[in-house]
Amino acid sequence: MFNRRHFLGAFTLGALLFSTGIAAAQEKFIVVASTTSTEQSGLFGYLLPIFTAKTSISVRVVAQGTGQALKTGEKGDADVVFVHDAVAEAKFVADGWGIDHRLVMYNDFIIVGPKSDPAKIAGGKNALAAYKKIAAAKAPFASRGDSSGTHAAELRLWKEAGIEPKGSEGGWYRETGSGMGPTLNTASAMNAYAYTDRGTWLNFKNRGDLTIAVEGDTRLFNQYGVMLTNPAKHAHVKAEMGKAFINWITGPEGQAAIAGYKIGGEQLFFPNYKPGAQAS
């Protein structure tokens, strides 16, 4: 027997599912694999709504260490990769995983530590000298230990200083295996030194007794790059929308937006894309 009520209910449910499916299909979005610093500094929270308002393309961010972000791109799980490790980025492109690699912006790294300054490095401008003093004093040091761009930069400095901190006597070197924010939380709790990007530091609220100890060394320069995951490797990559994001972030509006992001009147990132330039 025909049941009008059941029929209308099934029809309504079917129509709802159909319309929801259409809406999902019509939603325009890309996935950007990026560093924890762009997320935890608050930069993306500021930039992405401007981009979406301009293009109607929403951005879903996967915030990871640079090493993991590059692996996400390599697996085809992101349309765009936005990171800060020039060496790893160049290899990513050379291996064919990324194209249209561009410089976007820069800031710097700093060494923070407790105000008591057991290694006596406060006010210094030489990162290598600071590392040597920290190691000599066996002062607590919290490292990300997560294969991120920040961690890679930190390890290059230890190597340049002629020090192997892992497994060092006294256990003063601690790897958190986590992002920049959680590592700073650990440093704050331990009254330890840490190597951090300035952007995350400026947005970090739980400083405790931590303060900037070393800054201004040219070795602490921190460049960010962006690239499209190669659609020739992964056909499902949203190349057109990914290129729209890259063009915007390196274009006049995106570069101005980067320069306009400030905390307490202090600019966190400095745009430096040059039209026509390729990072690699």
Question: Domain of 89: which CATH number?
Answer: 3.40.190.10
Quick one: 56 and 74 in the same domain? yes
Residue 250 identity? T
Q: Is residue 19 part of a domain?
A: yes
Please report, to the nearest 10 degrees, the dihedral formed by the alpha carbons of residues 267, 149, 144, 160 taken in order. Answer: -100
Report the distance separating Cα 189 and Cα 196, nearest Å: 16
Q: Is residue 146 part of a domain?
A: yes
Quick one: 216 and 114 in the same domain? yes
Q: Which of 220, 237, 255 finishes a domain?
A: 220
Quick one: 76 and 173 in the same domain? no
Quick one: 194 and 251 in the same domain? no
Quick one: 216 and 242 in the same domain? no
Quote the pLDDT of residue 61: 97
Quick one: 69 and 194 in the same domain? no
Residue 131 and residue 218 in contact, taking contact as beta carbons nearer than 8 Å = no
pTM across the whole model: 0.83
Closest CA to 151 of 179, 181, 189: 179
Q: Is residue 1 part of a domain?
A: no
Quick one: 214 and 228 in the same domain? no
Quick one: 192 and 255 in the same domain? no
Q: Which of 220, 237, 256 finishes a domain?
A: 220
Q: Is residue 189 part of a domain?
A: yes
Quote the pLDDT of residue 3: 52
Q: Is residue 278 part of a domain?
A: no
Quick one: 202 and 235 in the same domain? no
CA geometry: angle 152, 123, 140, nearest 5 deg: 50
Quick one: 101 and 114 in the same domain? no
Q: Is residue 279 part of a domain?
A: no
The whole-number mean pLDDT for each consecutive block of 10 residues of the chain, a chain of 280 residues, reads 47 46 65 93 96 97 94 97 95 97 97 98 98 97 93 96 89 94 96 96 95 97 97 97 98 97 95 82
Quick one: 191 and 211 in the same domain? yes
Report the distance separating Cα 218 and Cα 241, nearest Å: 36
Q: How far is CA 144 from the centre of its chain?
A: 13
Quick one: 67 and 14 in the same domain? yes
Counting the structural domains of the chain, the total is 2
Residue 33 and residue 75 in contact, taking contact as beta carbons nearer than 8 Å = no
Q: Is residue 68 part of a domain?
A: yes
Quote the pLDDT of residue 25: 47
Q: Is residue 179 part of a domain?
A: yes
Q: Which domain holds residue 182?
A: 108-220
